[in-house]
A and B are shown apart, each in its own frame.
Chain A
Amino acid sequence: MQSWLEKQRYIVDFTMSSLLRRKVKNIGLLVLYTLIVFILASIIFFTYAIKREAAFILQGSPEIIVQNLIAGRHDLLPVSFLDQIKSIRGVANVESRLWGYFYDSLVGANYTLLTPPSQAGSLKSDGKKTFVGSGGSDIPTPTEEKNLYEYEGAPLEPGTLIIGNGVARMRSIGKGDYMPFMAADGEIMNLKIVNTLASESELVSSDLILMHESDFRKLFGISSTYVTDAIVTVSNPSEIETVANKIKKHIHTARPIIRDEILRTYSSIFNWRGGMMIVVFSAAVLAFVIFAWDKASGLSAEERQEIGILKAVGWETSDVIRMKFWEGAVVSLTSFFSGVILAYIHVFFTGSIVFEPALKGWSNLYPNFKLTPFVNAEQLTTLFFLTVIPYTVATIVPIWRAATIDPDTAMRHTGN
């Protein structure tokens, strides 16, 4: 055992010096290889972390949202629909939501304007909200935590706003400042900012502006007989799907969206079949095909000569193959570890700065968020088998072919 280890150590030493002899070529290969691993690992870390985070955060989203569709488009929901929904068996509670979008031409950003649900006029009952998933009990209920959209213990008053951190950053405004809006009737509304939402919550609240119901209705000219959509709470969580179907039967223009669909939307985001992802993955696969092709298509005259000399001085075929295996392993493992470490720093320390321009698209408002590092062995194993194994295997075949020929022929640069 001791002698075997000694032998391996000498072969690795020789391999290292052999690699250093072709410094420029091997460093180039190492940089390129690391870059490919970095891109693939960054995508894997980012997509997995955001999916896990979305699954955790959105399990507190409404059980059923009911929209009104007119000509295939989302329209305002008449308040009379709330009573109809309430009368459906299995419905515990119906709350209306008032929300919409506002384009700020000053900074070219879209904001989401929202009235906190308790103010939007609801039909309350004794129904208790429920959570799905194992982590549901981890979410603090409103009574356990301070109310996140109140300030100094009081609910929002007319003429006041609470803004998300992204809005505050874009407009360079904060608590105590005024934000002007042009209402639907042309009147200028100057609303006072009384607080900003916590910066830790930017992933869900960066573009949010919370305002009082009366301000919202005045701003968009929406009468009190309409709301944007409705939140339905179901008595028995296992009946959510059934209740959603009943709502559709009772109100033909309604479009119920259940929480599972919301969660599914985010579990399928950044899917490898998505346009941008398939381009990146194809580029990485193509790069590996080129690597493998370069290796499998044969050795350079210099390498062939080296093998010939080694065999002439007494190396066995198995030693030569072992040496070349270590060469491939050193290159691919160094690249793998460097790529993975750089990707981890990129995704969880720098906020995926390389991906930001692509994720930002044409929007001006982009949240500053720090992802929770959800990394597991499965991700690293997948990456390992995608990158290290193909390269190492691709180096073995041509070496075996070169190592089995006569040393004299190899040194003369002829033969096959």
Chain B
Amino acid sequence: MLSFLLLHASISRNAQTQNLQLKASLVHELGLTDLCLFTEARYTRHLSQADLYTAFQDHPLSLEHFPSGSFTEPNLSGIR
């Protein structure tokens, strides 16, 4: 059954290439930057666009309180 599922993975991967291209094309045309995974806060909706202060927008000592914050980490490498 596992090998059947692996076969399914291989077949559906090829079948879904068109869907992936549709999404990539939409991202390209609209200039999108992020996945629509977490819509609960603006800095989780656009993770790559958020500045480092948005998680503490209510108060400098206010802890990050949205559940999706526990799935992500700050990208500090690109800070100029």
Contacts and interface: CB of A to CB of B under 8 A. Distances in A.
Given A53-B20, A110-B40, A148 B25 contact: yes
Contacts of B32: 61, 204-205
Q: Chain A interface secondary structure, helix, strand, loop or mixed? A: mixed
Contacts of A372: 12-13, 16, 19-20
Contact of B30 (A74, A117, A140, A244): A117
A110 B41 CA distance: 8
B39 A109 contact: yes
A139 B39 CA distance: 26
Contacts of A277: 70-71
Contacts of B69: 275
B49 A65 contact: yes
Interface stretch (A178-186, A218-226, A260-268, A407-415): A260-268
A67 B79 CA distance: 13
Interface of A: 50, 53-54, 56-62, 65, 67, 69, 72-74, 95, 97, 101, 109-110, 112, 114, 116-117, 129, 138-142, 145, 147-149, 164, 166, 197-198, 200-208, 210, 229, 231, 244-245, 248, 255-258, 260-262, 264-266, 268-271, 273-277, 337, 340-341, 344-345, 348, 358-359, 361-367, 370, 372-375
Interface of B: 1-2, 5-6, 8-9, 12-13, 16-17, 19-42, 44-49, 51-54, 66-73, 75, 77-78, 80
21 contacts: A50-B35, A56-B20, A57-B20, A58-B34, A60-B25, A61-B28, A62-B33, A116-B30, A117-B30, A147-B29, A148-B22, A198-B26, A229-B49, A257-B49, A266-B48, A269-B47, A274-B73, A276-B70, A344-B5, A373-B13, A374-B9
